[in-house]
Amino acid sequence: MTAPLTLSAKEAAAELGVSLATLYAYVSRGLIRSEAPAGGRTRLYRAEDVRALVTRRDRPVEAASDRALDWGAPVLESAITLITGDGLYYRGRDAGDLAASATLEAVASLLWDSTEDAFAEEPPVLPAFANLPPGLDPLDRLLSLLPLAAAGDLRSVNRTPAGLARTGARILRLIAGILTGTNPSALPLHQQLCGAWGVAGPGAELIRAALVLCADHELNASAFTVRCVASTGASPYAALSAGIGALRGPRHGGMTARVAAILPGLLDAPDPAQALAAHLARGDELPGFGHPLYARGDVRAAWMLKRMAAIWGADTRMRRAMALARTATEMAGTPPTIDFALVLLADRLGLPPHAPITIFTLGRSAGWVAHLLEQVRSGVLIRPRARYTGVRPA
């Protein structure tokens, strides 16, 4: 009997031994092709792709590395965030729909699967800044002050889901205060940023939306780091500090600084499209464009740019930015990412240089707490095995 060329979702998941959510994650990462038959509503999945993935996953440890952590196969299951080729969903809710009106606190409660308002407590007290070197990088300031806050937060020993969520809420408010140099307050987190930066009106709404769109992005480097640390039983402060350390790298949250280093020059050039072409012709990297998880472009950036164009569409610099985004898409096949959108937002609102990474960090902290909670609930210690490629003993 000839083996079928396609499988239903249940059949494919059964062959892989995974949940349907994990199957869809494989599809979103291009590991399994799916197709919609003519006149049918349910999608079918390529059997050859399913069986190739089973073979690759189950082959002996002695085989060559398949770079499973480098945009490859998922390494653990999660019910928090789904990324498809053209969508981002927080516990089944479209992130763009949430960005239209939700606060970061509301999205945090959704991500944390919280049954109570973790932000109902009085805001925490900000540790003293006095002994920190002047001009310290914002993320280094966080890494310096969060341990001090942890030492004074006796309630952080509460390891129940509700207790961890309340600790997470205190940490988010501390992060907002530390990054802006202001005292944490009971105001919505986006208003704390806007108050520190003097932003009101449509700009404040865009900052709120940006925080929501940055809230989580599945199992990225910082979220995985948070989960690893959380799985050891370390405190939420330690786990989130580890996430901040991972975030600051230039291939992760530090990407915003790389975008900020080139975007003004491209926008100020007599012909931005020509400047971009020359940049690419030299073989220079183009940070802020192209994301491996989105075949048709980063949906977070598309959402932000559409709203920004609606507000500042008549502005010459905004028109140049949109033309630059179109040129990069057409010329190099690399649509803009959320990093580009955050840097452009800061440019149009006249925000301080650290604003893009501040928005990214504060928003992403909500997702880190969600991953921490999910990992603690699992009770599993994350301890991957290495595929050894060195010299074998005689």
pLDDT at 65 over 50: no
140 confidence band (pLDDT: 50, 70, 90): very high
Classify the phi-psi angles of 332: left when phi > 0, otherwise alpha if psi is within -120 to 50, otherwise beta: alpha
Of 94, 113, 371, whose CA–CA distance to 213 is shortest?
A: 94
Active site residues: 291, 339
Report pLDDT digits (tens) over 217-251.
999 999 999 999 999 999 999 999 999 999 999 99
Residue 130 confidence (pLDDT): 63
* pTM: predicted TM-score of the whole model, two decimal places: 0.83
Report pLDDT digits (tens) over 305-329.
999 999 999 999 999 999 999 989 9
Question: Domains (ranges, CATH) in the chain?
Answer: 6-74 (1.10.1660.10), 103-394 (1.10.230.10)
Mean pLDDT, to the nearest integer, of 17-39? 76
Weakest mean pLDDT among 8-22, 69-83, 143-157, 368-382:
69-83
Residue 171 confidence (pLDDT): 98
